[in-house]
């Protein structure tokens, strides 16, 4: 093996070691990013569940407000209840089809 071949082999080995190091670094970074992504997915699920709970609470609050009767809101409340009854009737009719 000539001196030039040894030099080329040495250069190749050095570059190969460097690429292996870079590969390991990228594997570690990829693992960290996957973990971060999983954490974000969990956070998104928690926020989505919270949003759904708040939406249900808001709907319940609207319903309670609709049903509550104040002297000045009696006719408005009657109209809302009539509308709700009509919607329920429509739903029942659709289910019976």
Per-residue pLDDT tens digits for 71-92: 556 777 778 888 888 888 888 8
Between CA 77 and CA 83 the distance in angstroms is 10
pLDDT score of 29: 97
Which tens digits make up the pLDDT trace of 9-68?
999 999 999 999 999 999 999 999 999 999 999 999 999 999 999 999 998 888 877 666
Return the closest-CA partner of residue 82 out of 65, 69, 97, 66.
66
Kindly report the pTM of this predicted structure.
0.53
What is the enclosing helix (H) or strand (E) of 16? helix 3-67
Instruction: State residue 73's pLDDT score.
Output: 66
**Cα four-point dihedral sign 85, 60, 67, 79:** negative
| pLDDT for position 95 | 81
């Amino acid at each position: 093996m000539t001196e030039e071949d040894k030099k080329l082999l040495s250069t190749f080995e050095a570059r190969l070691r460097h690429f292996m190091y870079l590969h390991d670094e990228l594997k570690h970074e990829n693992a960290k990013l996957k973990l971060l992504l999983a954490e974000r997915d969990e956070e998104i699920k928690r926020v989505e569940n919270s949003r759904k709970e708040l939406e249900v609470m808001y709907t319940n609050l609207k319903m309670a407000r609709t049903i509550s009767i104040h002297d000045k809101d009696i006719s408005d409340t009657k109209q809302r209840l009539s509308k709700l009854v009509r919607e329920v009737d429509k739903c029942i009719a659709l289910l019976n089809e």
